[in-house]
């Protein structure tokens, strides 16, 4: 025994602007929200709503919902390491990585310390 349960679908209903040369009213279009491939066009609002309803019913007659489980993307080693560092508050390491110009200051600091000995001031 199967129990039929109504399900709601949200449908976007639009009408194209009036066609200027002949003054004909624009055509109507209905699109199932979330399913852009399910769309119908017609001469009136009621027509496109009826058409898309029939289309959805027909699709669902042959449809089933399958839940798939797939492996999550493996996080890269770098990301994993960053997470561990971030947990300890280390969020700005590597600011001058591979930047010898920025790191030159640290050599200068050592040289300066070497020159400034106790009693030399």
Kindly write out the interface string for residues 24-63 of this chain, putting x where it contacts another protein by CB under 8 A and - elsewhere: ----------------------------------------
Nearest approach, Cβ of residue 76 and another protein (Å): 15
SS3 track for 78-110:
HHHHHHHHHHCCCCCCCCCCCCHHHHHHHHHHH
- By the rule CB under 8 A, 76 interacts with another protein: no
- By the rule CB under 8 A, 77 interacts with another protein: no
Query: Cα 37 from chain centroid?
Result: 19
Instruction: Mention every residue, 6+ apart, whose C-beta is less than 8 A from residue 44.
Output: 28
- By the rule CB under 8 A, 120 interacts with another protein: yes
CA distance 13 to 61: 23
DSSP code of residue 77: H
- By the rule CB under 8 A, 75 interacts with another protein: no
Kindly list the residues in this chain that would bind another protein in the complex (CB under 8 A).
Answer: 81, 84-85, 88-98, 101-103, 105-106, 108-110, 112-114, 116-121
């Amino acid at each position: 025994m199967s129990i039929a349960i109504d399900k709601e679908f949200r449908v976007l209903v639009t009408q194209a602007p009036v066609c200027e040369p002949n003054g004909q009213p624009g055509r109507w279009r209905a699109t199932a929200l979330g399913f852009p491939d399910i769309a119908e066009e017609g001469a009136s609002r009621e027509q496109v709503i009826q058409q898309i309803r029939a289309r959805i019913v027909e699709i669902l007659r042959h449809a089933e919902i399958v839940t798939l489980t797939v492996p999550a993307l493996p996080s890269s080693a770098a990301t994993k390491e960053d997470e561990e560092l971030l947990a300890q508050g280390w969020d700005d390491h590597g600011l001058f990585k591979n930047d010898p110009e920025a790191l030159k200051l640290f050599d200068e600091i050592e040289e300066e310390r070497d020159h400034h000995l106790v009693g030399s001031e």
